[in-house]
Amino acid sequence: MSTEALRKLAIRAYCLKKNWSSERGLPVSVRTIALGQDYPQICVIPGTNIIVTNSNDRLACWHTQSGACLGVVEHEDTNASHQVGRSPPFHQPGLSFVALSSKSRTHIGLLLFKIDYRNEDAITISKAYSNALPASEFQPILTPDATCNDNTIGMVFTRYIDQLSMLVASPACVLHDGHFYIHGQDLDDPSIVVRVPVDDSRLPVVEFDRTTLSTHADVETTCIALGDPWLLPPMYGVSLVTRRTSEMHSNGRVQRLRSVQFWPAPDHARSHAMTRLNNRDLVSYDHHSEIMGLAVGISGRYAALLDDGGPRQIGRRWKNNLGIVHYAAHPAPHTSFHLLDTASVAIKSYTAVMALDDALGVVYITHIGEGEAATLSVLSYA
């Protein structure tokens, strides 16, 4: 990278940090891209202005500065549900690999797509791998989560017959440092990470390191809902981000809590087992109203949060609030919340699909249910 490119990058990073630390961050630019159909998922290629959108019938690649569609790959089984893996794509210089899983009545599938942007004038997307297994043999409850690295692709799911509490709901996985990490949640034991050595993946799960990450309180707490977790490679200092809604009972009073939880990776564990996470290091942000959507950036330190706007007031227009939750490790671990102005973009929280590129400072928003009129809003804050 040239000196001039480094200078521009440093200026952009400074401006973004200043904007996202202000009382209400203002977008530097807002662009709208016509998608032509609903896409329930957005996958970000961080720092590139490239995103991938996914539906049950196709995968599409977009350049968000020009608005151009760079390529479309049709899914072979349009009767199956397709899901992009929740862990970040795997990156090599000029290449990114996105893992997908699929689930139908008869099969579960594992797919890998390659985005090649080594030549900025000829960016391509192509299918690099696919495999299907009989659903009757595995009996998955939900569409599996998928992940990949430079030599392995894998998925995790809950089977109807499984008795493992760690995989009752919202399983997530990531490949890192030669190991396959699995995160699961249930109402009794909200957070567990299990490490599975890739070379020994046929061993019983009880033989692998297991760490319970549940929080403890002096008052009775009832968990109401658990959001999808984000399990991340720990090189940026955060391994896991979770969302939880619960009720706290104390002295006959009930308080509803909505929180975003950041699980820091200890310095000594960033290149080793993420199962060394400790619930004493948990840093939680408690929000004042219902959290309707959350999108976590590649660093795990920033999360875009969409809420329901708080209590409805008669005679006032309903407005959803978009903001950024920031986790900082110094001087002491803490979180902060800053509102983000959305200019003319109206966000409907019940149909919004959101993604965050915290490398560029961009929030992407689209809405389900608009069909051929569907658009993508690109809000850049740097």
Please report, for the chain, the start and end positions of each structural domain, with discontinuous segments joined by +: 34-162
- Looking at every residue in the chain, the average pLDDT score rounds to 83
Residue 197: predicted pLDDT: 64
| Residue (of 116, 150, 111) closest to 131 by Cα position | 111
CA 85 to CA 230: how far, in whole Å? 10
User: Residue 363's beta-bridge partner residues?
Assistant: 356, 379
Residue 277: predicted pLDDT: 60
| Amino acid letter for position 219 | V
Residue 317: predicted pLDDT: 52
What is the bridge-based pairing of β-strands 24-25 and 334-340?
parallel
| Residue (of 276, 82, 89) closest to 175 by Cα position | 89
Residue 147: predicted pLDDT: 93
User: Residue 184's beta-bridge partner residues?
Assistant: 192
The predicted model gives 109-136 an average pLDDT of 93
Higher pLDDT, 215 or 350: 350
CA 73 to CA 69: how far, in whole Å? 11
The pair of structure tokens assigned to 220 is: 């009775």
User: Residue 287's beta-bridge partner residues?
Assistant: 258
Fold of 34-162: Lipocalin (2.40.128)
Reply yes or no on whether the pLDDT at 211 is more than 60.
no
Q: Confidence band (pLDDT; 50, 70, 90) for 160? A: low
Q: Confidence band (pLDDT; 50, 70, 90) for 163? A: very low
Q: Confidence band (pLDDT; 50, 70, 90) for 65? A: very high
CA 34 to CA 53: how far, in whole Å? 12
pLDDT tens figures, 214-258: 433 444 545 555 677 888 888 888 988 988 887 776 666 777 788
Q: Is 189 exposed, middle or buried (0-12, 13-18, 19+ CB in 10 A)?
A: middle
Reply yes or no on whether the pLDDT at 168 is more than 50.
no
Reply yes or no on whether the pLDDT at 316 is more than 60.
no
CA 303 to CA 73: how far, in whole Å? 29
Q: Confidence band (pLDDT; 50, 70, 90) for 117? A: very high
CA 356 to CA 20: how far, in whole Å? 13
The predicted model gives 110-115 an average pLDDT of 96
CA 208 to CA 275: how far, in whole Å? 10
Q: Confidence band (pLDDT; 50, 70, 90) for 44? A: very high
Q: Confidence band (pLDDT; 50, 70, 90) for 192? A: low
Provide the H-helix boundaries in the chain: 3-20, 135-138
Q: Is the CB of residue 97 less than 8 Å from the CB of residue 148?
A: yes
Higher pLDDT, 298 or 224: 298
The predicted model gives 300-323 an average pLDDT of 75
Residue 183: predicted pLDDT: 80
Higher pLDDT, 76 or 142: 76
Gap between the terminal Cα atoms of the chain = 20
Residue 144: predicted pLDDT: 87
Longest dimension (CA), the chain: 65
Residue 3: predicted pLDDT: 87
What is the three-class DSSP state of 42? strand
Q: Report the percent of the chain where pLDDT is more than 90.
A: 50
CA 228 to CA 172: how far, in whole Å? 8
**Given the structure tokens 């662009």, which residue do they identify?**
31
The pair of structure tokens assigned to 288 is: 């004042």
Reply yes or no on whether the pLDDT at 314 is more than 50.
no
Taken in order 11, 13, 17, 20, the sign of the CA dihedral is positive
What is the three-class DSSP state of 198? helix
Residue 161: predicted pLDDT: 58
The predicted model gives 192-206 an average pLDDT of 56
